[in-house]
Amino acid sequence: MTHYHLDDLSSINTNAPKPARFAVIGNPVAHSLSPQLHQPALDALELNVRYIRVEVPEGRVAEAFEKMHEIGIQGINVTVPHKLEALDACDEVGKGARLMGAVNTIVFEGEKKVGFNTDGPGFVRAIREDFGLDLGDLRIVIIGAGGGAGRAIATQCCLEDCPQLTLANRTVEKLTSMQTLLDPLLHGEKLEGPGDRLSIHSLDDPALQEAIANSELIINTTSVGLKQSDPSPLPSHWIEPHHLVYDTIYNPSCTRLLRDSQAQGARIANGISLLLHQGALSLEYWTNRDAPIDAMRQGLAEAIRA
């Protein structure tokens, strides 16, 4: 069974030796790697429960939460396209998730649905693991900041109080409301004026090249690179040896951007560490225990090899 539908749920835990207690919802959801990430972790914690995928049509997220709570589901991951609808369906939402406008983790506390976003905090751990550095110490450029992943990461960069943040998007208009929301986070206790530390650019803005030259970390959050034949979202000569380049894409494992960056002498990492750490943080919310990270890493590696 690759996934369940909403209407299948009522009977799945009846007399089940290993009941479903955790789930990911999305639409489509069959391709989600979350079970391969979480099941080995639940097994390592000896919880004797199952992690399942559930396909939920748009507009039925609140109903899905009710049905899942009824059958004893304790925690839910939320993936595309439901992260905003999930936020609206929660009784309480963490500060990061509220700012990001997206919830990817639901914890049931009694009757209450509490929503969090672990993509941003997971990214902090990913950068620490891959580059040994803290997000809050880096001058950062996000390519594709107008998309869902870009928005979450941009918000986290501000929450970490990074010294400089450059947001770039093909459609620059998508960034203006983000700038209004995020700029005060970078200026709260500082004396600099608005715009000193956060700037927005379209991808073809010549000023973007200079912003990139003056930054340390470049992050791709566009979908450019998902197809093997995709080009890089940036001209390769904009990348320099001092750069750290992170592509949130993990399949293919080495995008054109990462190949170009490596050829330019930059350090590179792909999105596998983000996938791993956002999942580990969800599990920590659900179980109040440290995530068995090696079991999760191995499960993911096997899933990607398969």
Residue of 252, 212, 216 lying closest to 235 (CA atoms): 212
Q: Which of 33, 106, 149, 276 binds ligand ATR (CB under 6 A)?
A: 149
| Minimum distance of ligand ATR from residue 171's CB (angstroms) | 3
> Helix or strand or coil: residue 244?
strand
Structure tokens at 143: 């390519």
Structure tokens at 216: 């340390």
128 is a site residue for ligand ATR (CB under 6 A): no
Residue of 118, 200, 123 lying closest to 167 (CA atoms): 200
169 is a site residue for ligand ATR (CB under 6 A): yes
User: Cis peptide leading into 28, omega within 30 of 0?
Assistant: yes
Stretch 188-207 residues interacting with ligand ATR (CB under 6 A): 203
Q: How far apart are CA 284 and CA 291, in angstroms?
A: 6
Nearer to ligand ATR by C-beta: 94 or 147?
Answer: 147
Q: How far apart are CA 76 and CA 65, in angstroms?
A: 8
Span from 63-71, 146-154, 177-185, 235-243 in contact with ligand ATR (CB under 6 A): 146-154
Span from 5-13, 148-156, 188-196, 280-288 in contact with ligand ATR (CB under 6 A): 148-156
Q: Which of 44, 80, 293, 304 binds ligand ATR (CB under 6 A)?
A: 80
User: To which residue do tokens 């799945």 refer?
Assistant: 12
Question: Site size for ligand ATR, by CB under 6 A?
Answer: 16
Query: Is residue 67 among the annotated active site residues?
Result: no
Residue with nearest beta carbon to ligand ATR: 147
> Helix or strand or coil: residue 81?
coil
| Minimum distance of ligand ATR from residue 278's CB (angstroms) | 14
117 is a site residue for ligand ATR (CB under 6 A): no
* Side chain identity at residue 143, one-letter code: I
Nearer to ligand ATR by C-beta: 44 or 80?
Answer: 80
Q: Which of 26, 75, 120, 144 binds ligand ATR (CB under 6 A)?
A: 144
Q: How far apart are CA 293 and CA 280, in angstroms?
A: 7
Q: Which of 26, 96, 233, 292 binds ligand ATR (CB under 6 A)?
A: 233
Nearer to ligand ATR by C-beta: 13 or 179?
Answer: 179
Q: Which of 115, 120, 148, 271 binds ligand ATR (CB under 6 A)?
A: 148
User: To which residue do tokens 């369940």 refer?
Assistant: 4
> Helix or strand or coil: residue 9?
helix
Q: How far apart are CA 288 and CA 74, in angstroms?
A: 12
Residue of 117, 121, 119, 95 lying closest to 106 (CA atoms): 117
Positions marked catalytic: 83
Interface residues toward ligand ATR, by CB under 6 A: 80, 144, 146-150, 169-171, 174, 203, 222-224, 233
